Structures are given as C-alpha cells and as structure tokens.
A = this chain, B = another copy of it.
C-alpha cells in the first residue's frame, strides 16, 4: 500500500510504499468522528498486449482535489500522486488479472488524522492507496439491474457534498440500499425535490435512452448541478456519444447502444484501440 502523511506545520512527507497492513489511528481523529474523509476509485486493466493501463486517471486526481477542498483537507500535486500510484501498481503488477472482464481496483483514500474532538480544519492527514482485484460490481452481470425509487430518502442536496466523493454521501445511503434489497432490487434510484427528479443510482450515474416527448431518440443524463457526482464513466460516455452520429433503431431491448458504449470503453481500457484516455503503467 501507498501512504503519504501531511501536517499543517510540515506539509507533505515522503510517500512510502509498504506491505499492506492495519493502520494505527488516534481514537479522536476527525475522520472517525466527523467524516473528514474522501476517496476515489479507478482500475488498472491488463491489455491483450500484456501492458497495464489506467483509464483517464487525471480525472480522478482532479476530482480528488475538489473533494479535498470541500472537506478542508489539503490539495496535492496531481501528477506526483499519479506517479506514486503508477509505481504502486507496477510493484503489484502480478495482481492485475489476466482477464478482459476484470481489473485491479485502485482506492485512493484521504482521511483526517487530526487527533482532537473540536470540529475544526485538520492539522494532520493521511493519504493512502490500497488495491484489490475486482470484476463486475454486481453479481448478475448479464441481467439488467432493478432500481428502487422512494422519495423518503435523499442522497444529496444543493449546498451539500453530493458532487464530491466524501464518505458521508455513502454511509447515509445504506438504509435506503437495504430497503431496495428488501423489495427485490439491486440499487436505489435517488430522487430529488418535490417533482422527484431522477439524479443517480446507488453507486453510479444514470443515463436514460428513450424516445422523448417530441419523438426524438435521446440519451439523457442529469446535469452536473452540484448534487450529482461527476463520474469518469459518465463524462466518457457523453464524450463518446457526442462524437457518434446516433441513429440507432430502438428495439424492445435497448441494448445496442449500451453494448456499443461498453465495447468502445473496454476496447480503450484494455488497449485494443489506441486512445489518449489511457495511461500506461
């Protein structure tokens, strides 16, 4: 794992790559009391050429920085952190699956280690990165997901932290998530406001592919209005489909467009087509 300590008086310390193991934390540290914490998630993919690639990692670095500002944690040099992550993956390269449906999940995490109970800006913090092998997030890979929408719970709101990857956005979602499961669904579809606007699904952005009210085929996703997490996959799908001249006949099962998007993304991620969206390890 990679660890980098920071303090207000000393600044950033030298990054360390060391064996994975438990961390020693002060019981009062504000990451455990006040949710002063954030994370990112990205993957390393092993291509047919056996090279390892990250997918648009600078978007994660940018978003992590934005989350840090929102959480009153310090910012950092994006390229330097990416280089530390690249080196970590290089060292652990044997863990990257030989598979075109799995990858090595990379979890940058940034927590306050301020050891005092006052609600205040952290004077100490720890940025660390851990890795694990990951396939599909859901068990039912081929099937569609069922979403449970109930306006009783709200994920995020204007003036909150919904557009940052802070821990509090997720802990508050568990209860709704298990209500969804009780009703036979895999995830929550989060609604917002009195008119129940669609915002996000449980742990991901959402797209609607439909024939709209005036008969046009449309791929729609909620705008980044401060309550939506700016997903890397979301942005990539928008950039891909804007380049395509969409004339896809709609069928009973609207899988053609999603298949095309999934193929294009995985072709890039696994290095089957050249793209500046990948970053070689």
Interface positions of A (Cβ within 8 A of B): 1, 20-28, 30-37, 39, 69-72, 105, 107, 109, 111, 117, 119-121, 128, 130, 132, 151-154, 157-161, 166-175, 177-178, 202-203
How far is the CB of A170 from the nearest CB of chain B, in Å?
Answer: 4
Partner of A160, one of B37, B119, B128, B154: B154
Q: Tell me how far the C-beta of A199 lies from the nearest C-beta in chain B, rounded to whole angstroms.
A: 12
Kindly list chain B residues whose C-beta atoms are within 8 Å of the C-beta of A170: 33-36, 119
**Nearest B-chain residue to A159, judged by Cβ:** B154
Among B1, B23, B70, contact of A25 (Cβ-Cβ < 8 Å): B23
The answer to whether A158 and B154 have CB atoms under 8 Å apart is yes
Of B27, B160, B166, which is within 8 A of A109 by CB?
B27
Q: Give the residue of B26, B132, B167, B202 whose beta carbon is less than 8 angstroms from that of A117.
A: B132
Instruction: Across the A-B interface, give the 10 residue pairs with the lowest CB-CB distance, nearest first.
Output: A168-B168, A154-B159, A35-B167, A34-B170, A35-B171, A35-B168, A35-B35, A157-B157, A72-B174, A36-B171
Contact of A121 with B168 in the complex, beta carbons under 8 Å: no
Contact A168/B157 with A25-B22, A132-B117 known, Cβ cut-off 8 Å: no
Asked whether A172 lies within 8 Å of B166 as measured between CB atoms, the reply is: yes
With beta carbons under 8 angstroms apart, the residue of B105, B168, B202 that contacts A119 is B202
A167 touches B33 (CB 8 A): yes
Q: How far is the CA of A26 from the CA of B166 in the complex (A)?
A: 19
Residues in B whose Cβ lies below 8 Å from that of A1: 27
Minimum CB–CB distance from A242 to chain B (whole Å) comes to 30
Q: Are A37 and B27 in contact (CB under 8 A)?
A: no
When the two chains form their complex, are residues A172 and B161 in contact, meaning their CB atoms are under 8 A apart? yes
Q: Please, how many angstroms separate the alpha-carbon atoms of A253 and B23 in the complex?
A: 52
Choice from B24, B107, B159, B174 contacting A36 with Cβ under 8 Å: B174
The answer to whether A72 and B178 touch across the interface, beta carbons within 8 angstroms, is: yes
Contacts of A158 in B (CB 8 A): 154
The answer on a CB contact under 8 Å between A70 and B175 is yes
Residues in B whose Cβ lies below 8 Å from that of A120: 174, 177
Residues on B with beta carbons closer than 8 Å to the beta carbon of A117: 105, 107, 132
Q: Beyond the given A33-B170, A107-B117, A166-B168, please list 15 additional residue pairs across the A-B interface where CB-CB is below 8 A.
A: A22-B25, A27-B109, A31-B32, A32-B109, A32-B111, A34-B167, A34-B171, A35-B171, A36-B171, A71-B172, A105-B117, A119-B173, A154-B158, A161-B172, A168-B171
Nearest Cβ in chain B — how far from A218, in angstroms?
A: 29
CB closest chain-B residue, reference A72: B174
Q: How far is the CA of A21 from the CA of B107 in the complex (A)?
A: 27
Q: Of all chain B residues, which has the CB nearest A34?
A: B170
